């Protein structure tokens, strides 16, 4: 009996190291041109993804996001399948259309952050507050996710 596995001819065309090196140069080229340009702009990592903190106590998860200079109505907070999404858009201001721009470091446009919550939350009791450019979302834990103390009678 022949135990060598049968392979279709077309699939065995192993180009060896030659193919690997062309893949490598392809990756190098990718990083040199468009990504290099992106990484140099300050918005690549920070701008479109506002900084976010998550903390937890016995009853709540608290998510804080830095969103300076937004209008409340331009911020959207939603919960979907145990993930909290914070998104919005900062629009350019009309009054500076004719002005000479010396520096434009502030992020403009759409942003979104999503956080997978480590436990179930009471969706109907989530509260949001926007103050001093910081959005604070308080998510009360669902009853079943809270730590419980059970007194066991030991005889």
Partner 1 sequence: MQTTVEKNQTANRPVREEYIAPNVNIFETQEGYVLEAEMPGVTKEGLEITLEGTEITITGRRHPETAVGETLFRERNTADYRRVFELDPAIDTTKVSAKIEQGVLTVTLPKSERVKPRKIKVD
Residue 77 interacts with partner 1 (CB under 8 A)?
Answer: no
List the one residue from 27, 30, 51, 123 that touches partner 1 (CB under 8 A).
Answer: 51
Does 98 engage in binding with partner 1 (CB under 8 A)?
yes
CB 110, min distance to partner 1, A: 17
Member of 33, 35, 38, 62 binding partner 1 (CB under 8 A): 62
Tokens of 54: 């998550």
- Secondary structure of 71-97 as H, E, C letters: CHHHEEEEEECCEEEEEEEECCCHHHC
Using the rule CB under 8 A, which residue among 55, 149, 153, 155 binds partner 1? Answer: 55
64-80 as b/e: b if 16+ CB within 10 A:
bbebeebeeeebebeee
Asked if 57 touches partner 1 (CB under 8 A), the answer is yes
């Amino acid at each position: 009996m022949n135990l060598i596995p049968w392979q279709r001819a077309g699939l065995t065309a192993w180009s060896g190291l030659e193919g690997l090196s062309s893949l490598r140069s392809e990756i190098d080229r990718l990083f040199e041109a468009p990504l290099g340009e992106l990484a140099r702009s300050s918005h690549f990592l920070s701008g479109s993804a506002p900084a976010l903190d998550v903390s937890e106590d016995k009853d709540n998860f608290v998510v804080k996001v830095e969103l300076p200079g937004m209008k409340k109505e331009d911020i959207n907070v939603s919960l979907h399948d145990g993930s909290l999404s914070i998104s919005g858009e900062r629009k350019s201001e009309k009054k500076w259309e004719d002005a000479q721009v010396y520096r434009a470091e502030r992020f403009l446009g759409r942003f979104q952050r999503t956080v997978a919550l480590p436990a179930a939350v009471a969706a109907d009791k989530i509260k949001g507050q926007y103050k001093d450019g910081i959005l604070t979302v308080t998510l009360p834990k669902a009853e079943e996710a809270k730590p419980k103390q059970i007194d066991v009678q030991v005889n």
